[in-house]
Structure 1
């Protein structure tokens, strides 16, 4: 285990920057490709559905391996899982970029490179959440604040992604793949030198004991955890479906391409980023406030998502609606992170947060291909159905996300 001490009074600014670089890089590694998917379709001669799989292949690999990474991080240490994972992400970017440069039909190899990046993402981004909890121990206010910074870094990556992706692709169409490797290298250096993980004086639990503890956690908090997981799926499904639709619409309906398109696509993501930062600063470990933010965000999501398809030909209205949607999603993301991290005991944080991250990646994986199929003939009805799901989740969150349902987990966390 890492043996350098770092307690809740000595977490350096560079340590926080290093942690924030991980979700930033992994977000760039996925979202940066969304605005240039139409370019890939033209250069590689593939369909819209095939181009969506460039996003989905990354996420599918993450879904299945994130729980493994969470268990390993609880057992051998966070940093020992994060660094090799970032190296895999770097290698995957090099593979995807090289085959795009040198091969006439690189699609299959691009997907393989993206799968490797997804494996890297599985062992990097999700481990940051329990790592924050480890560093700040029982200080919920500082944990919430730092998680807000981490999630803001994630959302800031989404703001930068369309701009950088469009810029790089305008220079060389496959340059975004190589840039992912470059950003991964920066994060590797930061993590190696600046993240000092607290020493764990407890022996790693045996696998059987680990399974029993995980089972107990889900038995005692299964209802509220299930709601949080479902919200994670729903939020990321809506986000990536709308981003895919918006990217296609800006290019094909409004003739916006290149860097100009990237800046326009970044507008709703900018509001998402600001909302995420503000929410992360305000929640301060308060379950009632987190609950209120989630409920209000779901109301905003449900009220705005149904109008996305109807405003596709009016760019100003489309951007207003998607910006409201971005504000709602931005407020919810750090709130869900905090609910998981602050109400689960330390020995289970890596595992439970990894299940939550897997749930989020299900939404990321499903969003683009679903939208590529539905937007041709079922665009409006698909957004209306999303609104109905939002109402169902609103009812579940209202009933199950409260201090009484999470009391047992909070007590266990305090004792640990």
Structure 2
């Protein structure tokens, strides 16, 4: 019989961490401070993966999950933990990563940024599968540790009106001639229109088109169709005259149009707060020349430009570079912005020097981080005196912070988390680096 263990901390996947018999035990559904039994599902020589069994001593932060599908659906991992305790745990994960991976500590821990805990998710990629044994079509996220689609009827982290579409969508797909040839529905919500992108592996029949049109009218959504593998092949099906898909940054008087398959933040309310915090830390001034690396469609570039600085945005995707340029023009900011296509994972110091001097820099990389970027920065006066780093992975932020502090002469002045994804283990964070005085 396996003896109970005491949970010491959470890992970056939201699992409880314990030690037993010389092994590290990662336990799904367990919280720090709890005494639990566990059921292993994967055993290795130095660690085990397990599911929580009985909670013999619950943590103060344990709450009843709000979603009926929690525990089966893989979309959330922390609904059993109080929302504020989740953020505190994420702050500890950030600090631990900085200390143990980067070997650095922040001079200031920024207050954590909270937002709505439910109904926040404006982007989602829902899997679709026809399962005869389940009585028809399933639409939802994958089950935990599985390629199966969860049997979902609602989703508490999506807006209520979209959550209520899950069952109607199951019925709709089940009525189509290609019910087993639609693997995915992508949800992309804007200020004035809600878009659903159907990935179709075979053409629709005329009757299918009638059914989609009626559904769109009834539920006030717009359908896009994606007949090929590339997301950029998605095109508007019905209605073709729907309002423009966009999000806004009212504080900076910016409207940001986007294609439904392009990357935008899942949580638009928190994105506004993130942009505000980033600009407060960066403090752009009129006349400064600022670099925005991994600029996407201009989420930070355009607010920086609105403050009067000249901004050069760098991005690896040619399509996103074009979109960012269009957005700058749309917002009257084309004169003080420039967008450059560049593979920022392969740049070096010579390339960076070729871009000229920047007064400040913002870095917002994907999960892989920005190791080539930080290695490319000169150690002398050519490097920007201030860097704001927005991260979706505390491990790669910590690695890059180590390079900046120990190799490039920067100080880590401030760092903190932004709770972009409540009820998940995802840690969004922001850090401020400044050149040490010579």
TM-score band, normalised by the shorter chain?
Answer: under 0.3
Using structure 1 for the length normalisation, give the TM-score. Answer: 0.22
Instruction: Kindly indicate which of the two structures has a greater share of residues assigned to helix.
Output: 1
Using structure 2 for the length normalisation, give the TM-score. Answer: 0.21
Instruction: Kindly indicate which of the two structures has a greater share of residues assigned to strand.
Output: 2
Structure (1 or 2) with the larger CA radius of gyration: 2
